[in-house]
């Protein structure tokens, strides 16, 4: 009886075990039945892969352009330079500039007209116009922490002339800024010519990095070298004295460290607003010399040489667009900007006239500064 009781208790367990084993057998049979049968193995076509295309798919953003908030770790100035795939990591730039040159102390003369107690003083100003020039540059990227090196050459050679009909009215006195005396009536036209040649080389080391999702900074340091050659000619004729003529030149060069910051703010895809600032502190040399003719008297202006510390400020603000092409194998950028530059202590040409005059002999004379401003259109190609 005890045996049958144990057997009766074991029957449910045996039934559950048989049901479990039967279910497993049915599942295996069904899976084998559903498995597709293949008479022969089909050959696998080799996959041709563009490494640059794979690299583009791995990245969640285009380097050098806006990113999403979680694309990069925070609190790290991640590299934001243009990063082409499989290239030389080199870029070239070319700029067309249309600038106007302005300078202190290049006006012609002060003219006094009228008689008695009612007189008028008028300054004959020298007007300038916009002239074309160009910039060319070459840059490369380094593996060390994504720094880049850049060299740029700027050339702007301008020649301006002004003619004034000073003989059309009677003058009480005529005080040129380019002679050593004051005169009476001028009987002919007064003509002035100013030539300014600027050649400039900037050498920079910089690093582009993300400051925000749409803002990129590029601090830079380097060296600036420039040559500024100027020549001023003045011609007039006075009734009592005769011909007035002066020809004076000022040759200058400067070299020194350069510091700056470039900023790009992207507001829609590849479109951006940008601003660039730079300051140079330079050891500079100025040499002034020339000649003056006043009637029958000829003056030879002995060379005057002056060493100074010159400051140069540069600024630009503009609009641009850029994009990668062909799976990031090359990159193109175009921009337009308003640019302005200032070069201190560049004009010593009328120092002789100011110092010789009894009205100025006891005064310290500040040399004139040079100012440049105008349109800059730039293209950049990375490869």
Rounded to a whole number, what is the largest CA-CA distance in the chain?
A: 159
Contact 321/293 with Cβ under 8 angstroms?
no
DSSP 211-251: SSSSEEEEEEEEEEEEEEEEEEEEEEEETTTEEEEEEEEEE
The total of other beta-carbon atoms located within 10 Å of residue 347's CB is 25
The pLDDT tens digits for 157-201 are: 999 999 887 656 666 677 777 776 666 677 778 889 999 999 999
Residue ranges in the chain modelled with pLDDT below 70 = 1-49, 53-58, 69, 74-75, 166-172, 180-184, 353-364
Q: What is the CATH number of domain 70-382?
A: 2.40.128
Q: Look at residues 156, 153, 150, 155 and name the one whose alpha carbon lies nearest to residue 82.
A: 150
Contact 216/152 with Cβ under 8 angstroms?
no
H or E element at residue 320: strand 297-325
Write down the pLDDT at residue 297: 79
SS3 of 67, please? coil
Q: Where are the domains of the chain?
A: 70-382
DSSP 270-293: TEEEEEEEEEEEEEEEEEEEEEEE
The phi-psi region of residue 324 (left if phi > 0; otherwise alpha if psi is between -120 and 50; otherwise beta) is: beta
The total of other beta-carbon atoms located within 10 Å of residue 363's CB is 10
Contact 278/236 with Cβ under 8 angstroms?
no
Write down the pLDDT at residue 260: 98
The pLDDT tens digits for 61-77 are: 788 788 886 777 766 78
């Amino acid at each position: 009886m005890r045996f049958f009781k144990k057997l009766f208790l074991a029957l449910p367990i045996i039934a559950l075990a048989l049901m479990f084993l039967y279910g497993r057998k049915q599942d295996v049979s069904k899976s084998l039945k559903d498995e597709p049968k293949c008479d022969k193995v089909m050959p696998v076509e080799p996959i041709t892969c563009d490494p640059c295309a794979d690299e583009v798919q791995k990245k969640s953003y285009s380097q050098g352009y806006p990113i999403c908030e979680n694309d990069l770790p925070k609190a790290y100035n991640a590299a934001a330079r243009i990063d082409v795939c499989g290239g030389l990591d080199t870029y070239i730039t070319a700029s067309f500039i249309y600038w106007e040159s302005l300078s202190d102390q290049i006006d012609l003369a002060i003219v006094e007209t009228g008689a008695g107690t009612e007189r008028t003083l008028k300054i004959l100003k020298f007007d300038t116009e916009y002239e074309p020039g160009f910039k060319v540059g070459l840059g490369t990227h380094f593996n060390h922490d994504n720094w880049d090196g850049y060299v740029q050459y700027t050339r702007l050679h301008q020649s301006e002339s002004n003619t004034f009909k000073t003989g059309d009215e009677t003058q009480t006195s005529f005080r040129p800024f380019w002679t050593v005396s004051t005169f009476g009536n001028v009987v002919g036209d007064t003509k002035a010519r100013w030539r300014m040649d600027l050649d400039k080389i900037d050498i920079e080391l910089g690093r582009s990095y993300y400051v925000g999702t749409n803002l990129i900074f590029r601090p830079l340091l380097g060296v600036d070298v420039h040559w500024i050659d100027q020549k001023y000619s003045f011609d007039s004729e006075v009734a009592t004295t005769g011909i007035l003529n002066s020809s004076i030149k000022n040759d200058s060069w400067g070299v020194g460290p350069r510091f700056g910051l470039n900023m790009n703010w992207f507001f829609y895809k590849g479109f951006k607003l940008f601003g660039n600032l730079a300051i140079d502190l330079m050891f500079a040399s100025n040499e002034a010399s020339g000649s003056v003719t006043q009637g029958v008297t000829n003056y030879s202006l002995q060379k005057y040489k002056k060493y100074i510390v010159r400051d140069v400020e540069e600024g630009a603000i503009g609009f641009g667009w850029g994009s990668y092409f062909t799976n990031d194998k090359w990159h193109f950028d175009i921009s337009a900007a308003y640019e302005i530059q200032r070069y201190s202590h560049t004009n010593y040409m009328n120092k002789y006239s100011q110092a010789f005059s009894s009205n100025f002999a006891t005064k310290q004379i500040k040399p004139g500064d040079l100012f440049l401003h105008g349109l800059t259109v730039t293209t950049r190609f990375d490869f």
